[in-house]
Each structure stands twice: as C-alpha cells, then as structure tokens.
Structure 1
Amino acid sequence: MKKFAKIDKERLLLGIAAPVLAVVAAFVVTSLVLLATGKEPFQAFQIMASYGLKSDSQVYILNKATTYYLAGLAVAIGFRMNLFNIGVDGQYRLAAFFAAVVGGMVNLPGILEIPLIVIVSMLVGAMWAGIAGLLKVTRGVSEVIATIMLNSIATAIIAYLLQPGMLANLNSNTNSVQTTLLPKSGWFFTLTPNPAAGPIEGFIVVALLAGVGYWFVLSRTRFGFDLRTVGQSESAAEASGVNVKRMIVTSMLISGAVAGLVGMPALLNEAHQYSTEFPTGIGFTGIAVALLGRNHPVGIAIGALLWGFLDRTSNWLEFNGYDKEIVGVIQGVIVLSVVIAYEVVRRYGVGRQQRRVGEQLAAAARAQGQQQEVAA
C-alpha cells in the first residue's frame, strides 16, 4: 500500500509540476518581451488583473469561455483519437449558417424550435467532419489536409449562399447581408445574477453538459476505451478486435457534431441570425485551448477561461498605452510553454520509471545471485 501511495503521490506531483512550470515560463518570457518593448511588466499584469476581475468582465469572460470550451472539446475528441481536426472552424460556421437558415424558415414553439436549430447544426457539423474521416479511411488522405481544404470550401459555400436572392437578405439600415432573423421562440435563455454586469448566456449550461458527456464517454464507456486505445496504438486496437476505420469515422463525426455547437451561443444568445459579421477563427482558438487543457474537460475549461480573460484585457491594455498585440504574444507563449513543460515533465517521469525498473531488476539479480551462492 505504501508503494502504491508513493507512486500516486509522485504522479500527482508530476501532474502539478507541468502547469506550474508552464505558468512560470510564460510569466518570465512575457516579462522579458514587455521589458524589450520598454514597458513595465508587473504594471501590465496588475492592469489585466484589476480589469479582468470586474463584474462585467467576469460575465464577458464566461460568455467567451462558453464558445471556446465547446471548440476545445471538439478538437480534443480528435486529439484523443490521435486525429488533428483543424476543420472545426469551417464545421461550426457552416453548421451555424444552415441552422440559422432552417430556424428562420419555421416558427415553432420554443420547445421545438431550439432543439431543431441545435440538431441541424450538429448534423451539418458532423457531416462536414465526416467527409475528412471517410477520405482518411478510404483514400488515406491526411485529416489535416482534408480539414484545411474543407475549411476553404465551407467559406466558399457560405459566401455563395449568403447573398440577397439566395438564402440571405440585404439589411438596408446596416448594409449587411444576413439570414432571416430567428423568431423569439428560437432565442435561448440568459442568466442575470447581476443586472449591472449584463446577462450570462444560457448556452453555458449546454457547454457544461457537453463537458460532462465528454468525460463520461471517454472515461466510463467501452467506446471511450476503444477510442483511446486506437489513439495510442492502432495495431494494438486491431489485435483486440476494434474496427479502427469505423472508430476514425465515428470520432470525426462526433467531433464535428460538437463543433456544430460552437456557433450556437452567437446564434441563439447574441445575433439570432447569420451574417457577414458572424465570429470566425474560433476553431483555431479551440486547438490552443485543447492543448492548454491537455484534452481533459476541466483543463479545457481553465484554458477557455484564460483565453476569455486575455481577450477581455487586451483592449484595456491598449487603452493604457500597451501594444494590443502583446496579448497575442502572451497567448502564443502560454501554448508553447505548456507543450514544452508537459513534454519535459513527461520525459522526467519516464526516466524515473526506467530508473526504478532498473533498480528493481538489479536488486532481483543480486538476490538471485545470493540464493545461488547459498545453494552452492
């Protein structure tokens, strides 16, 4: 029991050491960058902290983190399968566009309207991601190349259909092109614990449920075990009877379905229509968030909150005389620090295990030699 307790303690310490090392490294590198630009780093961090902790900033961060969390989950599903789904950006935008079109065409009670919009979005996202999965298992096309190309195709499809006379209308007041406004029954609820700080988007509840579902499926089901097995070794998975090709396609479908949820906060809680101003680039943020959270639902949540915090404080830094781009530098440094720190800690842990096994083998050899001497 003491031996297992010692191993668990070491594992816990190694798990804590990685993020701590990453934070320290990011803090040091960012401070050096700020000093190189002639700015005071500690003052910048103090400005970010004071502004980011305001009540209205907290609401903004939670709303941003909801979208980033869903994007991180979509990417993490592929990562756990050893698949790099770069296409989340195209999947969520195409899904949100068709969901907005369908939602604007009907006027059902809210109990039917909202599920219809969400289901359409998830189906479109799954279908678009599934194309990359099918290309990989049938033609051996890398999912990285396929999803990058599908992002461009999705952008072209949206640009073609988002035109007056097609599936959109021209707003003469704003001179913007947009789909039909969703009926009030298609607007998602909001939470307002502090009216002065603004409403918290209700889709945060869906994001939490998605995180719980992600954890349960991957940690407590046979499918999750097979998925993780294929991600670690396809040959071992095949030897245990897992259909690897089917798992690849299924994982891409699920990743795409979750990607379909990424645009729902903006559609159901904010704009209530798809337009040329619909947010883009969230899929790539999801990659950074998933890497930062090490594909764990809690870690992804922390990464999403951090990204929301940095988004919120970037404008305030610029207002106080700092370059707005410094936040982009901070984000890049954090991701690099996390990747490097986890790799350093992983190699250290593997080295300790190898040394421990070597010591045990040496001890067993000495004991066997002593037994042979006694027997002689």
Structure 2
Amino acid sequence: VGLLFYLVYRKRIRFGALVVAAHVLVGVIIAVIAINGTNWDNAMEDLLYKDKVIFSYNSKYQHVTITERIMDPARPKIISLFINGRSQFASNDEKIYHSMLVAPVMNASARHDNILIIGGGDGLALREVLRWQPKSVDLIDIDKTIVDFFTLPYIENGKEINKPLLKLNQHSFSDPRVHTHFGDAFIKVDKLIREGRLYDSIIVDLPDPSHPDLNKLYSARFYAKLKTLLTGDGALVVQSTSPYHAKNTFLCIGKTVQYAGFMHVEQYHHNVPSFGEWGWTIATKNGLSARARIAQKDTLEIDDGWSTKGVILAAFEFNKHYFEHLDTIKVNRINNQAAYQYHLVDWEKQQGIYVIGK
C-alpha cells in the first residue's frame, strides 16, 4: 500500500528518496526482529533468573520457566520451576516442602485409601502420597499442559527436556491409581460432592493467592466444600505461604479454614531453603486435632526420608506473641478478596515497596 501510494503521489512528495529509504529501513528492522526475536526473548528471560533457562513455554493459563544450575559437576544439576515468574520448587530441597506438606496430614488421617489433591500439577506431592499405598488418588489441576509436561517425555531438538523432572516425581502420574481432573477446582469439587465422594485426606497444594482468580480457592466457601468431601476421621492440609514474609496472609488462611466449620484448625511451619520459612494449615472435623493424633503415635508409619515425629511436632510451635493480633485478621471471602489483598501488601512490604497508609 505504501509503495502504491508513493508511485501515485511521488511527484508531490518532498524528499521522496528519504521516505523510501525510511520504509526500507523499517522493513529491514521488522525482518531482523522476525528472524531473531525468539532468541532475543529467550536471552531477556535468562536475565530475569539467576540460573540458566533450559525451557520456557506459555500454556493457556500461565507462563512456565524451568532453570538449571550446576553447583558441583560431580553432583546432580539443581532444577527449578517457576510459574509466572514465581518459584514453585527447586530440586535440591523440594523434598523438605513436600514431606512437610504430606506427612502431617497423612499421619493425622485414620485411613489412607482415598486421597484428594488440589493443584500439585508437578506430581511431587503425589509422589509422597503414593508412598502410603492408597487405593485411589484424585488430582484436580487447572492446567493439563503442565500435568502432561510432568507425565510424558517432552522432546525438543532431539533432547528430552523434562527427563530430570520425571525422575524427580518418580513418574507418579503414570500410576494407575491416579485419576486426573482438569478445570477450575472451585467448580470441579461440586461434581465430586454430587457424586457423594469422600476422602481420607485432602491436600491443597496451590500457588499463593497472588492473583484475584486464586483468591476464591482460599475462601471460606471453598474450604466448606472440602469439609463436605472429608471423612469424619480424616484431615485436610493447605499450603499457606510464609508465616514470616507474609504473616497476615498466613493467619488469614488459618482463620478462614476455622470459619469454614472445622473442629480443630492448627498451623505449622518449617524452613525450606529455596523459600525461607514456610507454613501450612491443617484441620480435622471431628475427634482429636491433627497435632494430638500425631503425638499419640509411637513412630511415623512411613519413612519419607525427611520427616520424623519430632520434626513434625516441633513445627507446630510459634513464639508466644505470634497469634496476638489474630482478632484483627479478616476471614477471606470471595467478595472481599482478603487473602489476595493481604498477600499483595505482605510481599510489597517484604520487597521494600510498601507505601505507608496503603
């Protein structure tokens, strides 16, 4: 179109040669970007992470980045997963996080036949659950692309990109006892309720409530739905962000689970080097609290390579002033976005960009 316009009006255009040269230059720039754009984008992404980016892709719901770091040539590479720029795990210490997520709730549950996992699309919590030899595990995740990536070999340029990750989760998604369901967990659990499903343990392993869309999965209404799905002597655990870096969010999650009607709600914490101090919320709907149930055991039933009875019970201890302002913390509801708002402010303060009076 530009060329046709120039040919028709070239006699009326001043500095016509300059105009043509400018168009040619723009065309060259566009061509260079088209040829090199992907490589430049990858190089820019490498600058955002401390480690080398070995794979990156966009699913329908999120941006996934996988990095690797070589600390010692004689030891395995450290593989890390980021979703939307936020760290999800590092292979050198994910064992700590997933043991502390799964071991307390499984030890607090009377049986381990039927387990429900919300989130956990990397299959690592699932790996820990399968140690207990359940009859059936249902896992709900919104993103089939991620679950597929942690299930099947992904070949790029003749190389199996995700081989270390499949080894890490011990091919947990390939176990015939595992049944995956894809979609919004807030809606998907309604189907399970209609079907009359009951679960001995429920494990909620979701990203932090860092986006308004995630807030509903930390709401009292959602936890009430999960209470309906839990057996009378079962237990529920919820990933609850950092009790140190995001204290108000952590307290909000615990208070919201309590509001949903569970008889006993407790919170515990443990250090995960990649994350720092991290926390979880555990609840039972009848009988003893999770902590009391674990305390009654002589030894833990399963050796997962990290957790012990002493480690788990110690994790329930906080300093004596930690919960003093709990009465000022809001219950998270769908319409008040409390968990999301607390999380936003907590992490802004941690990053030094908090505005006084916000």
Question: Which category of TM-score, normalised to the shorter sequence, fits these structures?
Answer: under 0.3
TM-score (norm 1): 0.23
TM-score (norm 2): 0.24
- Greater share of helix: 1
- The structure, 1 or 2, with the larger RCO (C-alpha pairs under 8 Å, 6+ apart) is 1
- Greater share of strand: 2
